[in-house]
A = this chain, B = another copy of it.
Amino acid sequence: MKRKKAYSDAPKGFHFSTAEAAIKKPGRKDLALIYSEVEANISGSFTTNMVKAAPVRIDIRKIKTGRGQAIIMNSGNANACTGRQGVSDANEMAGMVSKGLGIKPSLIYVASTGVIGARMPMERIKPALEELVSGVGDSSFEDVAAAIMTTDTFPKIVRKRIKVGDKIGTIAGICKGAGMICPHMATMLSFILTDIAVEKRTLDKALRTAVKKSFNRLTIDGDMSTNDTVLLMANGILGNPPVTEKDAAYLQFCKVLAELTAELSKMIATDGEGATKFVEIEVRGTRNDHEAERAALAVANSSLVKTAIYGHDANWGRIMAALGYSGVSFREEKVDIFFGKVKIVEKGLASGKDKQAGDVLKEKEVKILIDLHGGKASAKVFTCDLTEDYIRINAEYRT
């Protein structure tokens, strides 16, 4: 198997391939493959939407074994709301890759993103799949990140090193986002690879913890997708004794994984459909994390807050209103709100610093801190502003 030198900073033992199947339209690579030289431990997190795409249903079944060796993915068609035909199409895709690579179908995961409700154009996908299998090693992880883009404007990739005993392992992740993104599902598509050996249950726990504070605290438009999938593969090529929860390396692995997923989440928010800026909403001073998260998400999901940020208008009244309907209990007369370092609300009342706070909103990254002064818990969520371009992109998406 070929392996290009340029890609040597990807985790060891993973190889990549991309091909053009012209699924939605011709002119770009829209099919991609991740292949591990050896069987890997695999953990996953999937949409909690009742309506699950065919590949999600298949992956949820396969992942119970905890083992995987390849992931095949496409953009341009979500293979959702396609009934039995959709499941059969996804299985056929995995089957072709299975034959081509000579590995069991149960080790091959499928992920799709794109339009819902249209049948997969198998007549174009099948020949492209052959090309994909024969080209393993010809593409980089970046190429895969580009192939899964839909309305994303840039490919999203993060790489980190982790010291495990006397060895240096690598963990790298890609994702795609842009729209139909709301927390409390796994979230959009993300594939994270590592050459570090990690015991299966430990891998599950690390992923669950990382997703909770990253992809699940990310909202673009409050719409939860049918296709959200996060897969984390650990192939152990590094040769370390498998990391377990008892090892010192475990905490380090969790920390780095959490940083990686947080960075990917921020990239998704930055690249939200039509977004002009990245917005972080932090709520402090609640009785527990759940309340802080709930209050922060209410603010982050408010169309009125997001349009005000877009318009550089420090309209904090809309934040107060969103907090008020979040379902979290607090005392209005205790609330402080900061835009960057500018205290715009003090004890529930205007500070009069609208001009300075408006200037903060002109930056590309905006941090809004809300202190409810009712406890010691806090949570951060990531989002973006809401602009005319979001409307344009989504009014014209299929046409």
Contacts and interface: CB of A to CB of B under 8 A. Distances in A.
Interface of A: 48-52, 78, 80-83, 115-118, 179-180, 182, 185, 221-226, 301-304, 307-308, 310-311, 313, 315-318, 320-325, 329-330, 332-333, 345, 348-350, 386-388, 390-392, 394-399
A308 to B, nearest CB: 7
A332 B117 CA distance: 12
Contacts of A330: 50
A318 B83 contact: no
Given A81-B348, A82-B349, A392-B388, A321 B397 contact: no
18 contacts: A50-B324, A81-B317, A81-B345, A81-B348, A115-B317, A116-B320, A180-B318, A180-B321, A223-B325, A226-B317, A304-B394, A307-B390, A307-B395, A311-B394, A313-B396, A313-B397, A313-B398, A315-B397
A225 B321 contact: yes
Q: Which label, helix, strand, loop or mixed, suits the secondary structure of the A interface?
A: loop
**Residue from A315, A324, A329, A396 with most neighbouring chain B CB atoms (10 Å):** A324
Contacts of A48: 325
Contacts of A349: 81-83, 117
A50 B323 contact: yes
A313 B118 CA distance: 14
A320 B386 contact: no
Contacts of A226: 317, 320-321, 324
A80 B391 contact: no
A182 B326 CA distance: 12
Oligomeric state, in copies: 2
Given A222-B301, A301-B222, A304-B179, A81 B116 contact: no
A117 B117 CA distance: 46
A311 B225 contact: no
A51 B323 contact: yes
Given A50-B324, A307-B391, 18 more contacts: A50-B330, A51-B320, A81-B317, A81-B349, A179-B304, A182-B325, A221-B303, A222-B222, A223-B322, A226-B320, A304-B394, A307-B390, A307-B394, A308-B398, A311-B394, A311-B397, A315-B397, A391-B391
Contact of A49 (B116, B324, B348): B324
Contacts of A333: 83
Contacts of A49: 321, 324-325
Contacts of A398: 308, 313, 315
A317 B78 contact: yes
Contacts of A323: 50-51
Contacts of A350: 81, 117-118
A386 B392 CA distance: 10
Contacts of A82: 349
Contacts of A52: 324
Contacts of A310: 391, 395
A225 B386 CA distance: 19
A198 B116 CA distance: 53
A225 to B, nearest CB: 6
Nearest to A310: B395
Given A117-B350, A223-B304, A330-B50, A399 B317 contact: no
Contacts of A399: 311, 313
B313 A395 contact: yes
A286 to B, nearest CB: 13
